[in-house]
A and B are shown apart, each in its own frame.
Chain A
Amino acid sequence: DTEVTQTPKHLVMGMTNKKSLKCEQHMGHRAMYWYKQKAKKPPELMFVYSYEKLSINESVPSRFSPECPNSSLLNLHLHALQPEDSALYLCASSQDLIGTGHGYTFGSGTRLTVV
């Protein structure tokens, strides 16, 4: 299995809703990432997990809450989002933080719309 699977593919939520994005990989990668991407912009790093521990939080608002239940799963819990949070949320994984020459494997993303 050489894929990162993200669910759901599309999500529409109200500003008072609570929802979660899920990401799964079975490549044995020990680093996992959440990126946010607005239209026609590059991906922006949000969180980095290494060996199931949060390593980097890029000053992301607390309405975004990451969770890494085990080495294969990464969640992003959403609560009280704003319309400007609408974006493509990408999950990625790599063998480790430093990188071993194989780059990152990205999921197809969740297209989030906040209404």
Chain B
Amino acid sequence: SQQGEEDPQALSIQEGENATMNCSYKTSINNLQWYRQNSGRGLVHLILIRSNEREKHSGRLRVTLDTSKKSSSLLITASRAADTASYFCATDATGGFKTIFGAGTRLFVKA
């Protein structure tokens, strides 16, 4: 299965701290995406990193990609209570036509 695996499964931090989530996958990919989902709602696209990129930033988000290790990380800096959500990585396999989601990390930011 190409499905990504994420760790930790759950993460609880204080407001202002940084949160780091990791994602591993099994096959060659075209790109890797990160999504946020608030409590049973739709997913919101956060950032996409292509296979030939190593790092990407968007506001308080920093994503890294290591294709040799088939892994990615999402760093949220200076977290806020509003960042409380589930975060999913998703991969588009090389030669494939569908996006497969990892198991997700549930982040809880305490005010």
Contact = CB atoms under 8 A, between A and B. Distances in A.
B55 to A, nearest CB: 16
Given A45-B98, A97-B97, A102-B48, A109 B30 contact: no
B48 A101 contact: yes
Interface stretch (B11-19, B36-44, B61-69, B72-80): B36-44
Contacts of B99: 45, 99, 104
B85 interface: no
A67 to B, nearest CB: 19
A109 B50 contact: no
A103 interface: yes
A109 B40 contact: yes
Interface residues of B, number: 24
A32 interface: no
Contacts of B35: 103, 106
Contacts, number: 64
A106 B88 CA distance: 13
A106 B30 contact: no
A46 B97 CA distance: 13
Query: Which of B3, B33, B50 has the most chain A CB within a 10 Å cutoff?
Result: B33
6 contacts: A41-B104, A42-B102, A45-B98, A98-B97, A103-B45, A106-B42
